Structure 1
């Protein structure tokens, strides 16, 4: 695996949207670095993103100051699966060696949280108490992803794989109350690769279909107050979650997933909204577009 780079004439554009925003606000853009997957810090001051295999921070109040690299010791190059620790001071990170790490938002040393079990581990969720991680477990890229839950401890702990039926499973993260894991899955798909949004009780149980659509829907992210959700809709027939497509970031009420409150068409896909990017006050969320100049 290698990190992505901008194409000639392409830019990374960080956008903010929410229920009060008919059009998204451009917070920051650059033609120097392909940046992905914003997390919004728990104090509301900062976005944390990856780019060139490293982690970066961006001030929400002063985005003109630009990106600041967060320096870690002994951390392999990163992909775009990173999630804030509920303590607000640490972050959990998926690296391109297939393992999940934990480090301070200020940088420094890291702790590996997954075992050397010959599998790939792609982080997407941390339990509200910070004691467990939810990730996509792959035996190989020719196999569908499975929903795995494990203790967030050094070297890994006992792994529980939840039964989510047939097809690839991705993007699992906990609801704010810890009762559910929301995700996207091919289990309800009408065609190969037709991902749909779903949830499953924490600890396992019946997989519930959240919204039936003709689009290929990925990465549902609940707001901290659990009243809203954002996700990305790919065109029908899309396989996986590729980059550089005309996609739509959708905002919905969790009382009515089928009726978008806002639709934000962007050129993007991979990297746009892979991880939860809600502001702590639940009023806005961040996402990334990758426009190419004509």
Structure 2
């Protein structure tokens, strides 16, 4: 374990499919030096049988970073963990929380909450293949499970398998009848159930996820938990993370302001364009940077429309910044 990894889990950004790619994580790292960043979920089969370099490479500035994998075949997950070890990740996390139909059809994600013994076997196999800490992200239950008995049984199996930490989304997942989007909002949140689990299993490191929108809420959870995980709130309003280091980690060093962030991302984009990346692949993660400022709508328009134009370059970022600065001066 890298020095400070356990501390970095005090604040993490959730793995989000199609969102938390390497470009997104480079941006987020500008805003928090200490928080733990997660990859999108990667299917273990894609790592073992596909282009591992494409799926696993990341920029060194992204540390500390956790790789999230999905799968249910212990041998395949072990091989995926072995391969991932060579890329230098700080942690490897097994997804036992995603409720999508595509994930269920592959027998991984939230449906594995019904098979704690299999998940435990997967954790043991991964631990045997890597020196990285092996963690699990799960729900409090699925469908009609009793969240007292079934969650305890699942978590106990993870402890017995030697899991390094648990990330618990404080909602059930309904595998039939609700879409993945609905599963993020409709099943009621039950934070006290996660608190009880953490108290029972202490000193196992346990982080809470689900419905956390502000740093005030995050700090309240930290009175009960070892860490908090934010997803869409952090993605859509990334400047929220500008206060994380001071409020969550006690690091009062200044973080870059909007102008410095835009300049750094423009420089980053210049290098990525030379590798064949299109500007909108980077710009799409930056749309919320100006939220709450005069000119934010124009900023988003430039970043979302102009960045898609053929031959668009980093000057788009500076033009978007200028629109915000001009509006600020006019106020």
Which band: TM-score by shorter chain?
Answer: under 0.3
From the CA coordinates, give the structure whose radius of gyration is larger.
Answer: 2
More strand as a share of residues: 1
TM-score (norm 2): 0.26
TM-score (norm 1): 0.28
More helix as a share of residues: 2
